[in-house]
Amino acid sequence: MKESTASKKQSRWHLYLSGEVQHVGLRYTALYLCRGLGLTGWVKNLPDGRVELEVQGEVSKLRQFYMLLKSQPPIHISHADIAEVPVVSGERSFSVNPFVSTL
């Protein structure tokens, strides 16, 4: 059975995650999952305790990424703001920003 054309469409999600999301390996778990799924983007910690990320790829793989990320202990995502944003053409990898950004 073939996947629908909609699930193969390229999309980019911008996420703000809150809960037990810092100091639990979320950024490097995201890196590992994105590499395995062939997704691109970036992730960083925010000074208010949330994690911000953008992830890009096939819609079905974005959904799979989010479900896998949510199921990784000790990560506990209590709230996620997810918005679709424009695709970044030419992006080839997923990166971890090791520094806390300023608001």
Active-site entry in 12, 27, 35, 92: 27
3-state secondary structure the chain: CCCCHHHHCEEEEEEEEEEECCCCCHHHHHHHHHHHHCCEEEEEECCCCCEEEEEEEEHHHHHHHHHHHHCCCCCEEEEEEEEEECCCCCCCCEEEECCCCCC
Confidence of residue 8 (pLDDT cuts 50, 70, 90): confident
CATH 3.30.70.100 fits 9-86, yes or no: yes
Set 45, 50, 63, 92: catalytic member: 45
| Residue 27 designated active-site | yes
Q: Is the pLDDT of residue 1 over 50?
A: no
100 falls in which pLDDT band (50, 70, 90)? low
Model pLDDT for residues 11-62, shown as the tens digit of each residue: 999 999 999 999 999 999 999 999 999 999 999 999 999 999 999 999 999 9
Active site (annotated) includes residue 97: no
